Amino acid sequence: AQTVTQSQPEMSVQEAETVTLSCTYDTSESDYYLFWYKQPPSRQMILVIRQEAYKQQNATENRFSVNFQKAAKSFSLKISDSQLGDAAMYFCAYRRFLMEYGNKLVFGAGTILRVKS
Partner 1 sequence: EAGVTQFPSHSVIEKGQTVTLRCDPISGHDNLYWYRRVMGKEIKFLLHFVKESKQDESGMPNNRFLAERTGGTYSTLKVQPAELEDSGVYFCASSQVREDNRAEEQYFGPGTRLTVT
Residues near partner 1 (CB under 8 A) = 4, 33, 37, 42-47, 50, 52, 91, 95, 97-100, 102-110
Determine the Cα–Cα distance for residues 115 and 80; give it in Å rounded to an integer.
12
- CA-to-CA distance for 57 and 30, rounded, in angstroms? 16
**Would you say 50 or 73 has its CB closer to partner 1?**
50
Min separation Cβ 4 and partner 1, Å: 7
Give 95 or 115: the residue with its C-beta nearer to partner 1: 95
- Comparing CB distances to partner 1, the nearer of 45 and 80 is 45
Indicate the length of the chain as a whole number: 117
Q: Is 2 exposed, middle or buried (0-12, 13-18, 19+ CB in 10 A)?
A: middle
Residue 85 is classified by DSSP as G
Give CA torsion, residues 4, 87, 35, 10, to 10 deg. -10
Closer by beta carbon to partner 1, 16 or else 109: 109
Q: How far is the CB of 6 from partner 1 (least distance, A)?
A: 8
CB of 32 to partner 1, least distance (A): 9
Least distance from partner 1 to the Cβ atom of residue 42, Å: 8
